[in-house]
Amino acid sequence: MNGWRKTGEVLFVRVDTFHDGSLDIELSNGNFIKLEIAYVLELPGFSILREAGMLFTPQIADDRKTIYWSGGPRPLTVDEILALTGSRGGDSKSQ
The answer as to whether 2 is a domain residue is no
Is the pLDDT higher at 69 or at 1? 69
pLDDT band at 78; cut points 50, 70, 90: very high
Average pLDDT in the chain? 87
Backbone torsions φ then ψ of 12, nearest 5 degrees: -80, 135
Query: What digits encode the pLDDT tens for the residues 18-48?
Result: 998 899 999 999 999 999 999 999 999 999 9
Q: Would you give the DSSP letter of residue 54?
A: -
Rounded Cα gap, residues 30 and 25, in angstroms: 10
State residue 56's pLDDT score.
93
pLDDT band at 1; cut points 50, 70, 90: very low
Rounded Cα gap, residues 28 and 49, in angstroms: 26
| Beta bridge mates, 72 | none
Closest by CA position to 78, among listed 16, 17, 13: 13
| Structural domains counted in the chain | 1
The answer as to whether 4 is a domain residue is no
Query: What digits encode the pLDDT tens for the residues 65-74?
Result: 999 999 999 9
CATH of the domain at 73: 3.30.2020.40
| Amino acid in the structure at residue 51 | E
Structural domain that includes position 19 = 12-94
Backbone torsions φ then ψ of 40, nearest 5 degrees: -70, -40
